A and B are shown apart, each in its own frame.
Chain A
Amino acid sequence: MTTDSTGSRTNVCHRAWVLVPALIWMGLFFFLPLLIVLLISFASRGTYGGVEWTFTLANYRDLADPLYLWIYLRSCALALATTGLCLCLGFPLAYYIAGEPARRQGIWLMLVLIPFWTNFLVRTYAWMDVLRTDGLLNTVSMGAGLTSDPIEILYTDAAVLIGLVYGYLPFMVLPLYAAIERMDRSLIEAARDLYAPGWAVFVRVIVPLAKPGIVAGCLLVFTPSLGAYITPDLLGGARSMMIGNFIQHEYLVVRDWPLGSAASFVLMAMVSAGVWAYQRAGGERLL
């Protein structure tokens, strides 16, 4: 927007035309359905499912029920834990990759991305096989004499957490890598030269300079984790419901579309709040 904005008015008008196909597509297939969902969230449930078009705030009031609040709280906690774990695992990995020679960086990044070549659902089923009571993990740890009894992991929050961290780790590694790779290595030497011990180099120089990557990575992990559906559905079972499962449950099982719609909008509000917090944190590079 530096040279283009100084161009003539007609030029700007011409440029705007290229937006039309995307605007039509998004308008018809995204904004319109979203509007319908918004309207439904203010309607009430018919006796046999369906929607009765009355204006009410009852759905949002219902969501204040401790049972539902608990689901939101659990989801937030799980998403936060996922984000934190991804950051702890992803930062050293991204830092290491960024320090490798350029040719090997490509290989490392490919290895990080390889899981994406397989369908997410299939990979989650594979995790079920690993985590189940007679699965790979228990067989190996009992065979090696590390544990005497099988550990119950599948269908617990721990399994959900493992699955989420596994699924979203690349979203953390890539922006972190981009930020660290851009960093001038002589800055680290400068900090060492100015008497900084290792931890101070990390806290005072590396982290502040990697901040755009940290914030972008956290946002990219937190947002989809919060609305995760497949992972908690398969690995968490019925006992550990997250927002995504709750919405699915309301729509398809209970057939309470208005409550499900309201739950969706509360989720959207939470994500928007996350984005807003991101912008406050100075992450102007992403948005």
Chain B
Amino acid sequence: MNQPSVELREVVKRHGSTVAVDHLSFSVRRGEFFSILGPSGSGKTTTLRLIAGFEHPDGGDILIDGRSIVDAPPNLRPVNLVFQQYALFPHLTVFGNVAFGLEMRDVARAEIQSRVGAALDMVQLAGKGDRLPAQLSGGEQQRVALARALVNRPAVLLLDEPLGALDQQLRQEMQGELKAIQEQVGVTCICVTHHQEEALTMSDRVAVMDHGRLLQVGTPQDIYDAPASLYVAEFIGLSNRLDGRLASVEGPHCRIEVPGLPAIQAAAPAGVEPGGRVTIIVRPERLHLSQQAAQGGFGNVVPARVAKAVYNGHEMQYQLRIAENLLWTVRVPNADGGQKRFLPGEAVMARWNRDESVVLAR
């Protein structure tokens, strides 16, 4: 059980002169929902196609359940892919689509009947087996694509931007449903997406990719709260930056000097000597606003001016001018009605705990 379900070892793939996947290594645990997150051109889709077998790596090895599969054609790999635009066979009914993989493996008629029936039940499409794909809504087509893959009981389910073609509301519904089905079946999932919310909410672990390289692998919380690099911090969620110089380290904490602002306290970064250049990242929802400096035991206080205030229903979103060329975003939930609202032009104090920021070498 300790053997990884999928393992990539130093996989390289070139498209002409560009390196699409650059010495990529990671392993996915059995039953895990693993997302590969990155902008377009990051090599995430190529990675998925390499696992599915539609592309052959120029170097490295891909193992599924401990066996190398790089030389196997796609039809002999124990994986199934849910295509971005679903790629349902337009000339086959829903039943015909879902039964296709089983028919190709010469499963007995009666078993096909029962397994396809069960798969359609699972995705709530019972009774729609004789429809053609063109007669289904986008959400229903996506369910057929999922059933068509899962009915084969693959060792690994590959998802290529699975919810990308759906509108916002349906997307959120399907996120929950997809995750529930995955947990129910217990199948290992590798999901490629550029949609960070999708990756964070559905995944057990997330891999962030850019330019064919792996930047960080971790739980959604690791990725969000402890980004390994500035790129990851800025790619995932909104982040407020402050550039400075590490002044001193005292135990687990450090002091950072930022020109024009009071010294900032934060958790000490690893591998940075005093005097080194660092960037402090503070998430918008970790900031607190007040009119006076001395209020409560926050470690850091920075004076600012409100540039913009937007009422969002569930929260207030402020733009703060920290310095001439530095705008920060702050989110204040409208949890209790007594919360003081600030107006554009007002002077405020932005405060945060010294443990609620991330310091990265720059």
Contact = CB atoms under 8 A, between A and B. Distances in A.
Interface string B60-74: 000000000000011
A184 to B, nearest CB: 7
B47 to A, nearest CB: 16
B172 interface: no
Interface stretch (A24-32, A97-105, A132-140, A195-203): A195-203
B52 A193 contact: yes
A56 B53 CA distance: 71
Q: Which residue of B52, B76, B81, B88 has the most chain A CB atoms within 10 A of its CB atom?
A: B81
B34 interface: no
B152 interface: yes
Given A189-B74, A209-B90, A209-B91, A194 B83 contact: no
A149 B81 CA distance: 60
Contacts of B88: 190
Q: Which residue of A195, A200, A208 has the most chain B CB atoms within 10 A of its CB atom?
A: A195
A271 interface: no
A33 B169 CA distance: 65
Interface string A165-206: 000000000000000000010110111111111001000110
Given A189-B54, A189-B74, A195 B87 contact: no
B83 A189 contact: yes
Contacts of A186: 83, 85, 87
B270 interface: no
A194 B104 contact: yes
B74 A192 contact: yes
Nearest to B148: A194
A187 B75 contact: no
Contacts of A187: 87, 89-90
B100 interface: yes
Contacts, number: 58
Contacts of A204: 100
A193 B74 contact: yes
A196 B87 contact: no
Contacts of B83: 186, 189-190
Nearest to B145: A190
B188 interface: no
Given A186-B83, A189-B54, A189-B83, A196 B104 contact: yes
Interface in B268-301: none
A208 B152 CA distance: 23
B91 A196 contact: no
Interface in B95-121: 100-101, 104-105
Contacts of A195: 75-76, 101, 104-105, 152
Range class of the B interface residue count: 20 to 34
Given A193-B81, A194-B80, A194-B152, A200 B87 contact: no
Contacts of B53: 192-193
Contact of A194 (B54, B85, B91, B101): B101
Contact of B75 (A193, A209, A211): A193
Contacts of B81: 189-190, 193
Contacts of B54: 189, 192
A189 B79 CA distance: 13
A192 B81 CA distance: 10
A197 B87 contact: no
Contacts of B100: 191, 194, 196, 204
B203 to A, nearest CB: 22
A211 to B, nearest CB: 8
B92 to A, nearest CB: 8
Contacts of A209: 90-91
Contacts of B85: 184, 186
A189 B87 contact: yes
Nearest to A189: B54
B131 to A, nearest CB: 17
Contacts of B104: 194-197, 200
A201 to B, nearest CB: 8
A272 B88 CA distance: 36
A211 B90 CA distance: 13
B89 A193 contact: no
A76 B101 CA distance: 41
Q: Which residue of B73, B75, B80, B152 has the most chain A CB atoms within 10 A of its CB atom?
A: B75
A284 to B, nearest CB: 14
Contacts of A200: 104
B298 to A, nearest CB: 53
B75 A190 contact: no
B240 to A, nearest CB: 41
Contacts of A193: 52-53, 74-75, 79-81
Interface string B124-148: 0000000000000000000000001
A191 B87 CA distance: 9
A184 B134 CA distance: 14
A204 B99 CA distance: 13
B87 A190 contact: yes
A208 B101 contact: no
Contacts of A191: 89, 100
Q: Nearest 8 A-B pairs (CB), nearest first?
A: A194-B101, A190-B87, A195-B104, A186-B87, A192-B74, A208-B91, A195-B75, A193-B81
Given A190-B83, A193-B79, A196-B75, 10 more contacts: A187-B87, A189-B52, A190-B87, A190-B88, A192-B74, A193-B53, A193-B74, A193-B81, A194-B152, A195-B75
22 contacts: A184-B85, A184-B87, A186-B85, A187-B89, A189-B81, A190-B87, A190-B88, A192-B53, A192-B74, A193-B52, A193-B53, A193-B75, A194-B75, A194-B101, A194-B104, A194-B148, A194-B152, A195-B75, A195-B104, A197-B104, A200-B104, A204-B100
Interface of B: 52-54, 73-76, 79-81, 83, 85, 87-91, 100-101, 104-105, 148, 152
